[in-house]
Structures are given as C-alpha cells and as structure tokens.
Amino acid sequence: MSLVLALVASACGSRASRQEVQSADANSGRSGNAQNSTGGPAAGPGGTSQPGMFGTLPSPCGPGEASGATDIGVTDTEIKVVTIADPGGAKPGLNQGVFDSMKAFEKWCNEQGGINGRKLKVELRDAKLTEYQAQVKYACENALAMVGSMGVLDQTGAQDQVDCGLPNVAAAAVSPEQTGADFTYQPLPNPVDSYLVGPAQWVARTYPDAIKNAAALRTKLSITETQSDRLIEAYKTAGFNFTFVDSANIGETNWAPLVLSMKNQGVTYMTLTSSFEEIIPLQRTMDQQGLHPVVELEANFYNLKYPQQAGSVADGTFVRLTTWPFEEADENPAMAEYLRALKAAVPNAEPELLGVQAWSAALLWATAVKELGSEVTRAALIEKLSQVHQWDGGGLHGTSDPGANKPAPCYIIMKVEGGGFVRQYPKPDTDAAVYDRGHGFDCSPSNTVALTGNYGSGARAKR
C-alpha cells in the first residue's frame, strides 16, 4: 500500500539570488510574496526571518480583539481546524510530516497570540487510509475548515466536504475529485489538466539520446496509473518516445522480469510512479543486470531515507523538487524558520516535502482568516481564499495561484549523491541567467503544459 504515496507532483521552491536580493513587500500579506513576474518567489536575504515575518510574508499570527461565535469551530477565544493524514494505516508513519508540521504551526502561531487574538486549535485526525470519508464528516460537524490535510484516498470524502460547505486548504490533494473540488485550495495546486513539463525539457536538453527509448513504470492502482498517464502525455511534448510502459504489483519485490524486458528493449531513460521503498529493490535489480538508464523521478522521492537506504545504486538519480531544499535552508529565511519551528515543537520530527506543503497551507489559511477580523465564517473564508492569486508561502516555494487552481511553473533538479541530495540544476554559476531570474529555480512560463486527456474532474457543489 505504500506505493500509493507516489501521488503528488506539486509546485516549486524558491531560492534567493546571490546577486540580486530584494526586500519583502510590506503589503504582500494576501499574496504571500512581493510581485515577481518570473513566477519564482520574491527574493529575500538568506538566514533568518525578520521579526514579525515568515520569510517574505508578514506573519498572520498575533494578538487582537476578534470575538464572536461566528461559525462552526469559532468562539470568542478559539478557532478549531481539522488536519487529516494516514500515519496509522497499513504503512505506519505514512505522511507523518503533515501532522508534525501542523503541530508546529499551532505552537508557532499561538506563541505570537493566535490569529487576531483567537488561539488556534488543530485537531489531528488519522484516516488510516480507509477512513478518510469518516474524518471529513467529522470535520464538517466540528471545525471551521480542513487545513494542511493530505489523504491518500481523498476521493472518498471529496463530495462530502463540498456538500457541507467545508473549506479545505490542503497540503496536497491527490485524486481528480479532490484536487479539482469546489472549496479546495492548495498552496501548490496540481490540477489534472496541466503538468510541470520543465524537468522533461531539462532531461531532453541534457540527455537528448536517452529520451528516444523511454520507460514509464507505475503501480497497479488507478490513481498511480492516472498520474503516470499524465506524465507520459506531458513528456511526449518534450520529445520523449515511450517504448516501454508497464505496471507492477503493489509491494513488488521481484523486479527481475520487468528489468530484463527493459534491458532487451534497450531502455535509456526510466521513471517510476511509486515510492522510494519500491525503487530501491528496482534499482538494485537494474544494477545487478547491468541496466543503467537515466533515471528521473517525481518530487515525492525527495526523502533522505531513499539515498541512505539505497546506497550507491541510487547515485546519479535525478529528482525534480517543488519546494525549497532542506539542504539549503541557510540561504532561505522561510525554510530556516520552518525547520526551527518544527524542531521546537516536535524535536524528533523528520522534515518531509508534504510537511512543508502543510505549513504553507496553514499560512495561506491563516492569512485569509486574519483579513476577516472578527467575522470568520466558512463562506467568508472561501470568498477570501478564492481571491488569492499569488502565493509562495513566504519563500517556501514558487509563486502559484491557489484561487484559480493554477500551479507554479518552477522546479529544480536534485541529484542523489553520496547518501544525500545535491543541486544539479539550475546552478548559480553554470546556469546563472536562469538561476537569477527564478531566484534559484527555473520558472519559465513554458515549464507547464496543458493536457488533453480525460483524467477525471472535481467534486462540485449543488447549485
């Protein structure tokens, strides 16, 4: 079941240019970043956030005089939200980073005085993979909103969330039903009708011969096969020729037949829609059989357990990253502050990509709530969130459009090397023009492509 984790390709990260550092725009509260026409985040000095700021974003948390029991989950003194993830299911600890980040955000925000004086209460609800719908129904009856959630089987509760008018500011939405649902907002939208194709263009430029004989492997699950089909359609626009496409069983351990078939086919590029637990035995088998194609993977493979457990067979693998790298936190005030707050609240927490997205979702939600003052209602919150068309989480990722469900056009490429990850592209020296334009990322508008395939649609409110 762990293979279901290979679901989310999100938006992208941010890095302050070493040659051009801009100060934060004091009026950028709702957008989460100063104006940046490149699609990258607003630049800011590396190191630590300034007082009252989270990276380039004015903190939405602080004292105030908000009052009134204005809606479900709201009292004179408190605002209650629900966060759903799956750490107690068949794969213990699955997406634990979502819960850890929301614990940290609750503490970070309340230490500043809450939101307009109301304290934040985050209730963590474990869907255990199969109980997502039940937890959504609980949130409908008990909370102002869902914030920072990521449910692997979120399609089971998407319509329930919409039917009860519950705002969902998700860390990530997985299924077409949820990612395109009414009242659902993501800091890093991943709509089914578009795809971040920039990494494919980079592979095509760097390894033009490899893309002529490409392989796409995925798990035999409808959601992962849909994600893989989206990738294939998008990568074809960059010139990829997929000569080998196959699905593996959940929890596959015998990769030899697939590897032998790829070797006989002469595969020179491979990607896998799955999780790092499955690519480790796959890459070991490839190494044993002498198959060494270019391997490029989705952002969910950005997990230190992958290179540490895989060892040398993973060296040289490329992973496209959509948030700021943990390895470069000392150059990004937002990431440095996130990691500080995470450690302060959950000392043993392992930073995770989805945890960063959960934090950005919480910031997006809190920024909207702050602007509502005392009159915090679900309807007003939905209206406010729908007006947010620039968001970078204070510098945690590239500038997206949550209100219109449009992704950021930014990415970086990390390479597995020596048990960790190192930046491969863009680099500040060899790729200086791209690096500086995107403040450390490639944020070209051509990095996203529209898809024409039928990959499903979102849950809709009855009108």
- Amino acid in position 104: A
DSSP letter for each residue of 307-362: HHHHGGGGTT-EEEE-S--GGGGGG-HHHHHHHHHHHHH-TTPPP-HHHHHHHHHH
pLDDT at site 47 = 59
With bands split at pLDDT 50, 70 and 90, how would you rate the model's confidence at 277?
A: confident
Nearest Cα neighbor of 11 from 352, 458, 353 is: 353
User: pLDDT tens across 200-252, in order?
Assistant: 999 999 999 999 999 999 999 888 899 999 999 999 999 999 999 999 998 88
pLDDT value for 291: 98
**Span 379-396, pLDDT tens digits:** 999 999 999 999 999 999
* pTM listed for this prediction: 0.89
SS3 of residue 429 by DSSP: coil
Q: What is the CA radius of gyration of the chain?
A: 21
Q: What separation in angstroms does the CA of 245 have from each of 207, 214, 241, 248, 267? A: 20, 9, 11, 10, 11
13 has a pLDDT exceeding 70: no
Single out the residue of 167, 162, 176, 165 nearest to residue 149, CA to CA. Answer: 167
Q: Which residues contact 9 (CB under 8 A, 6 or more apart)?
A: 190, 195, 196, 227, 231, 298, 299, 300, 320, 322
**Confidence label for 38 from pLDDT (cuts 50, 70 and 90):** low
Q: Nearest 5°: phi and psi at 378? A: -60, -45
For tokens 């209650």, the residue is 80
Average pLDDT over residues 168-188: 97
